[in-house]
Structure 1
Amino acid sequence: MITASWQAAPVLVLGAGPVGQTTALLLARWGVPTIVLDQRPHRDKIGSKAICQQRDVLDVWEAVGAGRRIADEGVTWTTARTFHRGTELFSYTFAEPGRPAFPPFVNISQTRTEEVLDERIAAEPSIDVRWGHRVTGVEQDGEGVRVRLDDGRELAGSYLVVCAGARCDDLRRLLGVRFDGHSFDDRFLICDIRTDLPGWASERRFYFDPEWNPGRQVLIHPCPDSTFRIDWQVPADYDLEAEAASGALDTRIRRIIGDRDYEIVWKSVYRFHSRVVDRMRCGRVLLAGDAAHLVSPFGARGLNSGVADAENAAWKLAYVGHGWAPDALLDSYHDERHAAARENLAVTTATMDFLVPPDEQRARRRIDILTRAAEDPEARKDVDSGRLSEPFWYVDSPLTTADPQRPFAGRPPRGQVPPAGPGVLLPDAPVVTPRGPGRIRELARDGFLLLTAPGADDGVLTAAAAAPGPVRVLALDEIDPGGALTAALGARPGEVWLVRPDAHVAAVLTDHRDITPALTRALGHDTTRKENSDGLLPAGR
């Protein structure tokens, strides 16, 4: 918890789903008060919704006291299996650089995740949650932002973070942002089924063209309480109520689980979309989560990406509001998270094009790949059942100082992570501190962090002392006696690793004279950007 006093009005957070909850909790950790507004009268507690929480998202939630509990209550899985008809094509497990605190993926219903985050919010006096508050207008100037409610009242804040979900078209119009993209014709039937399926509780299973859904796909995820989430690709004219009434839904389910007892906990039909706003920063307003981008769920990139939006927004709002960084730092929120959204759209659209080929040529190519993949390892590389969620690597960010000794080699194979370096998320590992055992990511999220390898010169402390906001210097040989972190970094003698408050590496340096310029860049001091006199971005940004 940062003890600096917040002098401005509270930050307004629109939407009390997981992205809005995370935003408020992280801002509270930075000493920033928030008012969370949601138009619903109370929280919905139906359905699994977003179930698959990625390791690095659990890390973010642990920073606000929720990650370990969510992980312990969820179902851990480490293996992803892909089948074509009755044949398993391949499986893979996930790389674990360093010694991470959490497993690669944990499945737990969004409903339960929201309950755990609500408990953490209830313990934070600086977070004020108000249900039944529908926003109908947004105005802003150089001093703050005001929202108008449907009952005519107004609320003032220093900034506004819009986490209002996919169906906030009116708000996007108020902000003047486009939401370009497209929607897919096929629907997906989702059922949460409580039953006993021995051997299926620790792996994700994806089926191309199984005999029990010919010509389409099925995805099966394990969940807590002997529940399995099953997704069927179904035609655009699929009628769930008619199928349930006729008994065809029971037949559909039994073709997968066999003659065993089961209970349908929740069922729904979704149409998937690929859309992203053209701007994620509109002056003092930031858009996050589904309000800013929509992707198909094959790869679990929706909620996980939204939580990354929340963390990116929270530390930057805190640094600007506390006076530790210029307003231009908020420009990098758009730069970084819009690039992440475009990456997610590219990955998930490629998956959807493989699942639902848009033309005959690509349909023939898919059949050829799937047929050959049973015997040909090279063909398996082209099978796209969804590249699972991973952190976005800020290698091209204006905040990142490139290192020619550690060039980014591009997207690694499925289940792998790139080598540590500028722009990449810091690998996690246990460390020793004056306060006792800890983890490096816990320390990283308390401000900027300078990790020094043996042989680093003495100017590091001087550079750190001159920087605004919290900056810590830690020697690798003191905090990492076992060498797990040093090995995961591939740290070389004399290096200084500059780590951002969201645990991404901002720079790897060998000369203390480069630390101040790298810190300055990481705080958003970029002379190539232009602002209006009121500190707001030009309307066209």
Structure 2
Amino acid sequence: MPGTADSPTHRDSVIVVGAGPAGLACALALARQGVRSVLVDAGDGTAREGSRSCGLDAATFAFAAGLVGGRLDGAAQPWGPLRIRRRSTTVPVPREPEGGPAPAPERYGLPQQRLEQALLDTVSAAPLVTTAWRHRVEAVEQDTDMVTVTTRGPAGRVRWRAPWLVAADGHHSFVRRALGVRFPGRPRVDRLLCADVKVALPRPPWEESPLEPWLFVDPPFQRDGTVLAQPLPHDMWRLTWQLPLAHGVAKAADATALIPVHGDPADPKRTTQRVRAVLRTLDAMSPDADAAADPVYDMVWTGEFEVHQRLARRFRAGRVLLAGDAAHLVHPTVADGADLALQDARNLAWKLALVLGRRAPDRLIETYHGERRSAARRRLAFGEDALHFLSPRGPAQKMGRRLTLMGARSKGTTLRRLDPRALVADSLPEYTGSPLLTPGGLGVGGPVEDVAVVRADGRRARLSECLDQGLVVVLVAPGIEVWDGPRWRDAGLMPLLRARLGELPVAAELVVTHEYPGAAAHTLLLVRPDGYLAAWLPPGGEDDLNAAALRAVGRPASEEMSAAASGGP
């Protein structure tokens, strides 16, 4: 059973403030690495109502699913490429060649409330996570070795001490403000009305699995605006409209990317009309539609939000790390807040675990700031570009949007600024320039391809199933798919590589794959626990593996010479 707060002072390895996606995922990822943490939150430990965020990249979804066991089975809807319809005309998109394998989904629809509930249920059963619900942070202090957090809970004041603090306490982060970290950006860049509806719609005959989100541009039911329709599991749809920006609302200096609108609400009758108009349009795109009747639906949830784009000046302040909405706010068109929050947690957890285990120096933590802030900054830039399309200001931008759509329709090309597949490829955080990387090779600093692999015990798996523990070394060996276990484990480079793994500075798993895009036979790939490629070693580069591993965990290459001289790492 997890611990509970029952004494005035508690000492843990990590204090996590905030039980949103970033905080929950960070606590669970740390526990997976054997690190204790205390999770402090002002709430009561229940998931927040509504599903503000509803999209995850495939790699992020795999990470979340791995944290919670089977609690997300059947909870996510695979998405195909974004479809665009201007007025009454559908913009064509390129299709995969017939006869080839269907591409794997690169995004999934998952309501944030469902994600948070799965994380909360897992936390409640995690023995290495202490939970302190209904505890509000009142003070944060730190010295060279420890952080002290003072909270007020049901039993009064409590002090928590730990070497590290993860501040995942949202857009109004008390911790960020207490540390004096600035949070500049552009407020009120867009205003959205969201509705989750349950409706059984006939599927158009051209639409293959997976279901596709639809963006309606200047539709008959909303001139000079856009409406986004995203499929969710169990016949649910998330519908999102652009609304005129209201005056006199969302005045807070710090605001979430999706801040609830407390004034000038949309007319409920008009909202119902909007929902019916979108569902009629979706329904009418199928020849099986009943033109005489409106689709029958249930309104599950609605919410109004204003969109803000902000980025903290620093993601690290001493022994405090900012994550999730406490660190960045990005337009949801290019990055759902929960997706970025989970990526923050994934990047940070393995680094904290190595540093706390004294297997890596403290400077490894500094790379969290460099990598994740750069990633968020790129998303902000894409958000600004998307806004020029979604919310054109003035005749010039409106004409630019019209010409873009006309070109896409005539050439059959996709819109890279809006297609989730293109945005994933262009804006997934690539850590090029990080000191943890060995320069050279294809894709170093980017996410690895989720190829099929064979593990040392002969089990077949996806590479994503091997992540979030230690390093992973991938050997590219064509023909491996037809070999039996005893044969390949003792063939070729395998004995040498097993010996090399024993020399690495941290634990690593050796797996073999039949092929990897762009890689020749006997290429070695060094993969970080968070699924990013740290090194691409060409055939014959196995002698460079130790140096690459040292670099990947923030240890200087000079340690390699010391290790070689002493006969060990």
For residues 35 and 102 of structure 2, what CA distance do their matches in structure 1 show?
29
Match for residue 438 of structure 1 among 438, 447, 461:
461
CA contact (8 A) 2:94 2:412 kept: no
Please report how far the alpha carbon of residue 285 of structure 1 lies from its aligned counterpart in structure 2 after TM superposition. 1.0
Match for residue 230 of structure 1 among 235, 239, 242:
239
Matched, 1:472 2:509: yes
Q: Give the match for residue 37 of structure 1.
A: 40
Matched, 1:28 2:37: no
Please report how far the alpha carbon of residue 15 of structure 1 lies from its aligned counterpart in structure 2 after TM superposition. 0.9
Matches within 5 A, 1:401-416: 401-403=438-440, 406-407=441-442
Alignment deviations for residues 464-510 of structure 1 (CA, whole Å, 9 cap, x no partner): 32332212334x3xxx4xx2xx2x34332343221111121111124
Alignment deviations for residues 6-33 of structure 1 (CA, whole Å, 9 cap, x no partner): xx83211111112211111110010001
CA contact (8 A) 1:460 1:515 kept: no
Q: Give the match for residue 311 of structure 2.
A: 276
**Per the alignment, do residues 33 and 249 of structure 1 end up closer, same or farther by CA in structure 2, a change over 3 Å counting?**
same
Match for residue 519 of structure 2 among 474, 485, 491:
491
**Per the alignment, do residues 197 and 100 of structure 1 end up closer, same or farther by CA in structure 2, a change over 3 Å counting?**
closer
**Per the alignment, do residues 99 and 120 of structure 1 end up closer, same or farther by CA in structure 2, a change over 3 Å counting?**
farther
Matched, 1:195 2:199: yes
Please report how far the alpha carbon of residue 279 of structure 1 lies from its aligned counterpart in structure 2 after TM superposition. 0.9
**Per the alignment, do residues 359 and 154 of structure 1 end up closer, same or farther by CA in structure 2, a change over 3 Å counting?**
farther
CA contact (8 A) 1:456 1:493 kept: no
Q: Give the match for residue 252 of structure 1.
A: 274
TM-score after normalising by structure 1: 0.83
Q: Unaligned stretches of 5+ in structure 1? A: 1-7, 408-420, 529-541
Amino acid at match of 2:531: A
Q: Give the match for residue 183 of structure 1.
A: 187
Task: Report SS of the residue matched to 1:203.
Answer: coil
Alignment deviations for residues 221-243 of structure 1 (CA, whole Å, 9 cap, x no partner): 11223221110001013977561
For residues 25 and 99 of structure 1, what CA distance do their matches in structure 2 show?
35
Match for residue 333 of structure 2 among 293, 298, 321:
298
Q: Give the match for residue 427 of structure 1.
A: 449
Task: Report SS of the residue matched to 1:423.
Answer: coil
Task: Report SS of the residue matched to 1:79.
Answer: coil
Matches within 5 A, 1:66-105: 66=69, 69-91=71-93, 103-105=105-107
For residues 527 and 47 of structure 2, what CA distance do their matches in structure 1 show?
38
CA contact (8 A) 1:355 1:385 kept: no
For residues 349 and 95 of structure 2, what CA distance do their matches in structure 1 show?
32
Q: Give the match for residue 533 of structure 2.
A: 505
For residues 242 and 496 of structure 1, what CA distance do their matches in structure 2 show?
56
CA contact (8 A) 1:328 1:526 kept: no
Task: Report SS of the residue matched to 1:422.
Answer: coil
For residues 326 and 266 of structure 2, what CA distance do their matches in structure 1 show?
32
Match for residue 111 of structure 2 among 103, 106, 109:
109
For residues 283 and 47 of structure 1, what CA distance do their matches in structure 2 show?
35
**Per the alignment, do residues 126 and 82 of structure 1 end up closer, same or farther by CA in structure 2, a change over 3 Å counting?**
same
Q: Give the match for residue 4 of structure 1.
A: none
Please report how far the alpha carbon of residue 372 of structure 1 lies from its aligned counterpart in structure 2 after TM superposition. 4.1
Please report how far the alpha carbon of residue 202 of structure 1 lies from its aligned counterpart in structure 2 after TM superposition. 1.5
Please report how far the alpha carbon of residue 311 of structure 1 lies from its aligned counterpart in structure 2 after TM superposition. 0.7
For residues 266 and 452 of structure 1, what CA distance do their matches in structure 2 show?
48
Alignment deviations for residues 81-119 of structure 1 (CA, whole Å, 9 cap, x no partner): 011111111336799xx9999742222221111121222
Q: Give the match for residue 9 of structure 1.
A: 12
TM-score after normalising by structure 2: 0.79
Please report how far the alpha carbon of residue 313 of structure 1 lies from its aligned counterpart in structure 2 after TM superposition. 0.3
**Per the alignment, do residues 521 and 370 of structure 1 end up closer, same or farther by CA in structure 2, a change over 3 Å counting?**
same
CA contact (8 A) 1:166 1:290 kept: yes
Amino acid at match of 2:276: R
Q: Give the match for residue 259 of structure 2.
A: none
Q: Give the match for residue 18 of structure 1.
A: 21
Q: Give the match for residue 412 of structure 1.
A: none
**Per the alignment, do residues 369 and 332 of structure 1 end up closer, same or farther by CA in structure 2, a change over 3 Å counting?**
same
**Per the alignment, do residues 119 and 42 of structure 1 end up closer, same or farther by CA in structure 2, a change over 3 Å counting?**
closer
**Per the alignment, do residues 527 and 514 of structure 1 end up closer, same or farther by CA in structure 2, a change over 3 Å counting?**
closer
Query: Identity of paired residues, percent?
Result: 31
Q: Unaligned stretches of 5+ in structure 2? A: 1-10, 205-209, 248-262, 281-293, 478-491, 559-569
Task: Report SS of the residue matched to 2:135.
Answer: coil
For residues 179 and 104 of structure 2, what CA distance do their matches in structure 1 show?
38
For residues 170 and 96 of structure 2, what CA distance do their matches in structure 1 show?
30
**Per the alignment, do residues 94 and 46 of structure 1 end up closer, same or farther by CA in structure 2, a change over 3 Å counting?**
farther
CA contact (8 A) 1:190 1:268 kept: yes
**Per the alignment, do residues 58 and 514 of structure 1 end up closer, same or farther by CA in structure 2, a change over 3 Å counting?**
same
For residues 334 and 453 of structure 1, what CA distance do their matches in structure 2 show?
32
Match for residue 63 of structure 2 among 60, 63, 67:
60
Matched, 1:339 2:374: yes
**Per the alignment, do residues 185 and 60 of structure 1 end up closer, same or farther by CA in structure 2, a change over 3 Å counting?**
closer
Alignment deviations for residues 28-48 of structure 1 (CA, whole Å, 9 cap, x no partner): 010001111111234244112
Matched, 1:327 2:354: no
Task: Report SS of the residue matched to 1:446.
Answer: coil
Alignment deviations for residues 58-96 of structure 1 (CA, whole Å, 9 cap, x no partner): 221233243x5425222222232011111111336799x
Please report how far the alpha carbon of residue 157 of structure 1 lies from its aligned counterpart in structure 2 after TM superposition. 1.5
Alignment deviations for residues 415-453 of structure 1 (CA, whole Å, 9 cap, x no partner): xxxxxx322222223333316333323224331122234
Match for residue 437 of structure 2 among 375, 400, 403:
400
Amino acid at match of 1:511: G
**Per the alignment, do residues 527 and 332 of structure 1 end up closer, same or farther by CA in structure 2, a change over 3 Å counting?**
farther
Q: Give the match for residue 148 of structure 2.
A: 146
Alignment deviations for residues 196-230 of structure 1 (CA, whole Å, 9 cap, x no partner): 22227811000111111110100001122322111
